[in-house]
Amino acid sequence: MLINLLFKNLGIRQTIFKNTFWLVAAEGISRFLKLVLIINVARVLGATEYGKFDFALSFIFILAIFSDFGVSSIATRELSKGKENEDEYPSIFSLKIILSFCTFILILIGSFLITQDLIIQKLIRILAVYAIATNFNEIIYVFFRARQIMEYEALARIIQAVLVTGIGLLVILQFASIESLGFSYVFATLFVSFLLLFFFHFKIYSLTFSFRKLIWKKFISMSWPLGLGTVFSYLSVLVGPVIMGYFNLITEVGLYGAAGKIISILVLPALIIVQSFYPMLSKAFKESKEAFQKIFYYQIQLIVFIFAPLMVGAMTLAPKIIDFIYGSDFFLSVPVFKILIPAIGFVYLNSVFSQILVVINEQKRIIMVSFCVAIASVILNLILIPMASLYGASLSVLIATILNFLLLLGFSLKLAPIKPLNFKVFISLIGYVFSSILMYFALSFSKVYDFNIFISILLGGSIYLIFVFLYKKLIKHIITC
């Protein structure tokens, strides 16, 4: 029964559940394992060496976007329409190879322009292979998504994460250098890429090359808006470390990146919620505006229910969290972490309103918003980093995230058939916020704060849930009276 549920397509709902389960599992496991690796890298090498590594990766991933530029998303959509479109796949595959090669050359050239540090230049060239190979795998995943067999994508991503983490930990403990770590990333990723290509060619679809320029033109003409949107989104997130690295603030990049990696884990629930609600919202938008509004309210309540205590708890326990994960050498990451924590709430809300715009077929608005936020991020970082170093970069992220929220909210309220709140939802949100505040006072009590970090988190979560339960009971009693 379980095998059928997770490995076979038996119906629309079951297939949606299966694909969502595997993608969520892959995302969660990959992020967790990468965090485990990065924690050990930071502890063993220190903030400066880790800063070099994070700076190199940030710079690479901004440019690596051009190896896809939205082609994979459009290819997924077109191939999903039917197997008759699969005759275009060899041309798409060949286009991906050409884009990957050109992007690799671009990264090599960029390595000489972004820094004069020879070690970082070498690291960029090493990690460029890792980034290009990782992005190239997407063109295989496209086929899996189109045929609704995403379990293969998930397994490949999990295997890659396990190998990168396992080999990376072994290398970092034995050789303790960023160059060795870079080579471990490359080896693990290339191994998975070759394995994936072999499996795909002999079990799923026989790979061939095709250079049909009309098909290339067709897909590039459809994909470039998505590509630009992705460039803008990545630029908003990664421009801080790149600018700090350009100004030779390498240790600061390491301290900033250490806090940022924790934030990337804390925003994961938002991605899961959005994926879970997307099919329901899409269906409701076509069938019933009333149902669409109702599902939107459920999503908003769930989002706030999760991020309110998460933000308050993380802010309260920030020094303990950083010390537990990275050690006392990273105490300067605590203010960065505290500045970035409020951004988590806006990221959660941004994911909701971005999804709304996609559902109502207003993706172009997201691109406009991404462009404005990217420009604002670059300007803010150029102004604030010279003034306040890594704290300026953190503040830039917070301001840019708030701007992103305001723009997405404005477009959503204008174009979508939704109202942001009603009385029932408002009362629920007040309860979540009130319960989070009470949790803050409980965690701030000295004897509770001095507990083991896991006990503090468990106790804080329990207190929050108890207060939410009591609040709902009280509100229900008042209404019935």
pLDDT 10s digits, 120-173: 899 999 999 999 998 888 888 888 877 777 778 888 889 989 999 999 998 888
Residue 402 CB neighbours (<10 A): 16
Q: In this structure, is residue 436 part of a structural domain?
A: no
- Determine phi and psi for 175, rounding to 5 degrees: -115, -25
Q: Note down the domain range covering 111.
A: 1-211
* 190-199, 279-288, 447-456: range with highest mean pLDDT: 190-199
In the numeric block, which tokens belong to residue 224? 């470039």
First-to-last C-alpha distance (Å) of the chain? 48
Q: In this structure, is residue 376 part of a structural domain?
A: no
Contact 317, 453 (CB under 8 A): yes
Looking at residue 1, its pLDDT comes to 61
Name which of 128, 386, 44 is nearest 395 in CA terms: 386
Q: In this structure, is residue 426 part of a structural domain?
A: no
Q: In this structure, is residue 230 part of a structural domain?
A: no
Distance CA 40, CA 38 (A): 5
Looking at residue 454, its pLDDT comes to 86
Torsion angle in degrees (nearest 10) through CA of 120, 121, 126, 130: 80
pLDDT 10s digits, 408-441: 999 888 888 888 777 888 888 898 999 999 999 8
Please say if the pLDDT value at position 392 is more than 90: yes
pLDDT 10s digits, 434-451: 999 999 988 888 877 888
Residue 210 CB neighbours (<10 A): 15
Q: In this structure, is residue 198 part of a structural domain?
A: yes
Mean pLDDT of all residues in 345-352: 85
Q: In this structure, is residue 229 part of a structural domain?
A: no
Banded model confidence at residue 395, pLDDT cuts 50, 70, 90: very high
Distance CA 346, CA 267 (A): 10
Cα angle vertex 30, ends 28, 32, to 5°?
65
Count: domains in the chain: 1
pLDDT 10s digits, 239-250: 888 899 888 888
Looking at residue 6, its pLDDT comes to 59
Burial class (CB in 10 A: 0-12, 13-18, 19+), 457: middle
Distance CA 151, CA 141 (A): 10
Please say if the pLDDT value at position 3 is more than 70: no
pLDDT 10s digits, 23-35: 777 878 888 888 8
Please say if the pLDDT value at position 339 is more than 90: yes
Q: In this structure, is residue 143 part of a structural domain?
A: yes
* Largest pairwise CA distance in the chain: 74
Residue 147 CB neighbours (<10 A): 16
Q: In this structure, is residue 21 part of a structural domain?
A: yes
